[in-house]
Chain A
Amino acid sequence: MRSDRELIRLYERGNEEAFREFYSRHRRVLFVYLLSLVRSRETAEELLQDTFCAFLQGLGRLNGSVDLRPYLVRTARNRAIDHLRKSRRDAAALESRAEDSLFKARGRDGSERGGLIDPEEVSRLLQRLPEEQREAVILRVFAGMTFREIAELAGCPEASVVSRYRYGLEKLRAAWKTDGKPKRCEYGAGRTVSSV
């Protein structure tokens, strides 16, 4: 499999297909991360477009040693922070923040919503985690980022990210019934205003 760097190098030489491959590699992770931050599918899509637009514009200035996935995640995060700051000024918009699910209705095993495991309920539980813990869990589990990379992104020590991740999982575990079904919002309503 070609590395991200290689794909971007090919794209810079005029290979559009290489960018397609690069994009398909990161689109889902970035989208779900943005969705977890802004909670609205429509906004997450707009921010995803902004993220790639900024990425493409800044390609020439990119240092050759920069790891592209953390770089993209950072760009996406900055876009989301800007958006959340602006939306804070509009209380009504904040109240109406939707909560679109992070998962598709059908699981990889083919199980449908309403079965033993309800993806929407699990998504809700995840979204109810404090933001720092949720970010650590999402970036670790879905984006496959290392604790160090997440720490650099969040601007905190690596040990803090490790504990955020562990606390996050513990809270989810506690909210989980032994029969495999999640309890409803076991750890409260969570913060409605993003603290990122």
Chain B
Amino acid sequence: MEPDELFRAFEIEEPSASTDERILALAAGRFRRRRRRRAALMTIGAGSMAALFAFLAFSPGGILPPGGGDANVAEAASMEDIESLREDLVQIREMAELIPSELDREQQNIDLRVRECLKDLERLERVLESFDERLSKPETPKKGVNL
């Protein structure tokens, strides 16, 4: 029998079951850590999206403008909401920094989107401020029509 044939006839040694378990646990742990990070990001992202939607929908000039309706809705779209959204977005950015370096592109995408959202927020903030200013100005009395 040739030596190489002989080697093939033997069953080569293998690592112990405990080593197998440790390595597989290592792989599973890595995967679960990533999944947790992703879930956290998605939770924060979803929360922010809901808040943003609420803001856009109920803000003056939004999908569901408060004019003539419930005055409380207008109050909801306040500067505090914007501040809260901004905090959420900053938190998303911080979470994005936890993304492993091998996922650079994803991290950059999230960062870019968050920056865009922050710019939109600033724009909305300015709109809201000007709107508030206009509201706070006393309305000039309209000329009545004598019947």
Contacts and interface: CB of A to CB of B under 8 A. Distances in A.
Nearest to B14: A28
Interface in A66-120: 100-104, 106-109, 117, 119
Interface in B89-118: 100-103
Interface string A22-44: 01000111011001000001001
Interface of A is mostly: helix
B9 interface: yes
Interface of B: 1-4, 6-16, 19-20, 22-24, 26-28, 30-31, 35, 100-103
A19 B13 contact: no
A51 to B, nearest CB: 9
16 contacts: A16-B28, A19-B27, A27-B20, A28-B15, A32-B13, A52-B23, A56-B30, A103-B7, A103-B12, A103-B13, A104-B13, A104-B14, A126-B7, A137-B3, A142-B12, A173-B3
Interface residues of A, number: 45
Interface of A: 11, 14, 16, 19-20, 23, 27-29, 31-32, 35, 41, 44-45, 48-49, 52-53, 56, 59-61, 100-104, 106-109, 117, 119, 122, 126, 137, 140-142, 169, 172-173, 176, 180
